[in-house]
Amino acid sequence: MSEDSNKDKQQVEELTSDDCSSDEDLFDPSLAEELEQCAFFTDSFYDHILPRTTQILLEYDSGRWVPRLREPRDLYGLSSAGHLHLVRWPHQYEVVRQKIEHIDWIPSEPEPLYIPTGLETEPLCPDPGEGAVVYLADEANKDSSFMYSRIGGSFPSKQVLPQSWEDWDNTLIFEARFESGNLQKVVKISDFEYQLTLRTDLYTNKHTQWYYFQVTNTQAGMPYRFTIVNFTKPTSLYNRGMRPLLYSEAEAKIHKVGWQRTGDAIKYYKNNLSQDGRQYFSLTWTFQFPHDRDTCYFAHCYPYTYSNLQDYLSTIARDPKRSKFCKIRILCQSLARNIVYVLTITNPLQDFKEEKRKAAVILTARVHPGETNSSWMMKGFLDYILGDSNNAQLLRNTFVFKVVPMLNPDGVIVGNYRCSLAGRDLNRNYRSDLKESFPSVWYTRTMIKRIMEERNVLLYCDLHGHSRKENVFMYGCEKREQQEEGASLHHRIFPFIMSKNCPDKFSFPDCSFKIQKGKEGTGRVVMWKLGISNSYTLEVTFCGSKLGNSYTHFNTKDLESIGYRFCESLLEFCDENKNKYDECLKELEEMVKQENSADPVNDTLDKDSSSDTSDSNESPVKLESQNEAKKPEDSSQRMSKNQEQLIKNAQVFQKLKLIELQKIQKTKYEISKSSIEPFPRTPSANKVWWSP
């Protein structure tokens, strides 16, 4: 080995070492000292997988010294002090030394969707060389694959300002090199118009959906236009009224206002860019900043970062009450050596036999890092199950909950939309034995297998976000012969109960229980094949619901409420009084009879647009499939024959009051779905049952 090679190896070892002095206190000078106070331990379900310390003790017995091993002390876990691990990034990834924080805020009224007028403009992408580049992130994909990580990433290079622009004081300043940020390039087209390019998922050449970036040097009241030019999906919820999110630090400081919807003249359309046979699509919108010289943020959905999760877990660990029935352990380390946490939630019982008879319920989230709405659902679930209510107590007395709140921390940290640092969709690799490439899903599957050896697993659910469809719905699993005969509807009952408990958000007709060939590596299908009959994917839209508060967006409170309804539905599903369960089964049987040969669920979107769908599955990302079926032209490219009527309808909708819209949609829903009556809000029984 050459001298240069030895130096390179030494540099790599220094950069990846946890003891490297450069890794300390990049964000908090006191953190290194606090970490020394941490006590680490593993989870009993898989403590044989993770390392433990062993020390030899000498005991004096019968006149001689007898060596024995000290009781092993687990190395991994979270102490009651609540100190967590520093965030690790790919070694070459530039990161600004700034901690981004946002306040929690819920608007007093639901935020309406944008109603297209049909008159929105479609800006063309300028030729190369036109305009001025005002932001250009270092090419994060310069390495073909992930190499190694370091705490805090690499120090950011200074942005080179365009010398040709004399009015730089009137130019917006962009930044996205922070946790979960995504923005690759910005070109200034004119005084108030900017063209933006998103970064693809690291070590891939695709997946541009998630964006989250900072803008400073703002001017209030000016008519700005942003156009993101490199989306790849032919359809989008932005053409159904979804608006981008805006956060103003001045608004947060002065008026305590957080994330809010913004944008007019919103249009998602096929643009004039293409590369290697791939057509690109643009999202354009106009807006005004609320304050001069403000710091603002734009995002596709409400951000929920890895640090947000760690802060949340830290509050649990420091809570003397909740920490007794919620044990935070470490499932594994990711490729970048970030921690994948697992929570065990249950009330310990005095009777050991009763404790062993508890069934397990398993929830996971954020296998796709850009689906931040799944983390808000997960937060709602955890808030409920860790609460003091009688229902929460009953659930903890009855079940052992295993929760993996963030399966893909690396992807979340770097701002990916779909993939891990392996450049692959983890939700296509639950069958894989490549533990080193896909550690989080490998250890999750291994953990579940071991749980199944010890106790019954009642239900598995993986939380996701959906980019092309409204409402909340679920995907389940059933055999083809069951679909044809309408037999064994028991696995449809839990989603059906969800639709009753959440009638303004959850749509049972949008659920699907078919298994596509391309879905066999997903979590829900793999767990179903392991023997968990109630294995689901819970999908929530990025936009809003066509039920209840129609024509409005979901906010974080709405997303959290879905987690609450999940817990309530679990109680209904397992109530000792099986009347409601039997009622649901009869209703489902009647629905199948009525629809007869018609497909009782909408599977068109399940085939090509669910969050389960990905082209980053079994093959390396560089070997992109060339036989992708041609998709129909975006409806926005075709002028409707009833265009004038659509514009008139839009104008009418804009004048209607929110309460009128709600009444209209609620009436339509009740008429069309009269067979799905919501459960009354009654206290739960003292006991619940579950079937083995």
* Secondary structure letter of residue 454 according to DSSP: H
Cα(135)–Cα(172) distance, rounded to whole angstroms?
10
Cα(614)–Cα(318) distance, rounded to whole angstroms?
39
Q: Which of 111, 175, 478, 539 is catalytic?
A: 539
Pairing of strands 457-466, 535-541: parallel
Say if residues 194 and 225 touch (Cβ distance below 8 Å): yes
Cα(472)–Cα(469) distance, rounded to whole angstroms?
9
Say if residues 543 and 240 touch (Cβ distance below 8 Å): yes
**Residue 345 class from Cβ within 10 Å (0-12 exposed, 13-18 middle, 19+ buried)?**
buried
Q: What size, in residues, is the chain?
A: 692
Cα(637)–Cα(268) distance, rounded to whole angstroms?
10
300 closest CA partner among 242, 379, 223: 242
282 closest CA partner among 253, 239, 343: 239
509 closest CA partner among 617, 605, 441, 416: 605
Counting Cα atoms < 13 Å in the Cβ hemisphere of 681 gives: 4
Say if residues 218 and 529 touch (Cβ distance below 8 Å): no
Cα(358)–Cα(363) distance, rounded to whole angstroms?
16
Is 539 tagged catalytic?
A: yes
- The values of phi and psi at residue 30, to 5°, are -90, -5
Pairing of strands 73-74, 52-53: antiparallel
Six token digits for residue 386: 């860790």
Write out 294-333 in H/E/C secondary structure.
CCEEEECCCCCCHHHHHHHHHHHHHCCCHHHHEEEEEEEE
Say if residues 328 and 343 touch (Cβ distance below 8 Å): yes
Cα(533)–Cα(476) distance, rounded to whole angstroms?
9
Pairing of strands 359-365, 326-333: unpaired
Cα(149)–Cα(88) distance, rounded to whole angstroms?
6
Say if residues 422 and 619 touch (Cβ distance below 8 Å): no
35 closest CA partner among 51, 16, 55, 19: 19
211 closest CA partner among 282, 149, 143: 282
Query: Which residues are tagged catalytic?
Result: 539
